[in-house]
Amino acid sequence: MSNKNKLSVPYPVVVEGKYDKIRLSNIISAHIVTTDGFGVFKGEEKRMLLRRLAERSPLIVLTDSDGGGKIIRSHLSGMIPKERLIQLYIPQIKGKEKRKTAPSAAGTLGVEGMEDELLYDLFLPYAQGTDTLTRAQENPLSTADLMKDGLTGGAGSQARRDELCARIGLPAGMNANALLAALKLLYTYEEYLALVGR
User: What is the architecture, at CATH level 2, of domain 7-130?
Assistant: 3-Layer(aba) Sandwich (3.40)
8, containing H or E segment:
strand 7-8
pLDDT(176) > 80: yes
Domain ranges in the chain are: 7-130, 138-198
pLDDT for res 9:
92
CA angle 65, 71, 75 (to 5 degrees): 125
At residue 62, what is the residue type? L
Predicted TM-score (pTM) of this structure: 0.73
Range 69-79 average pLDDT: 92
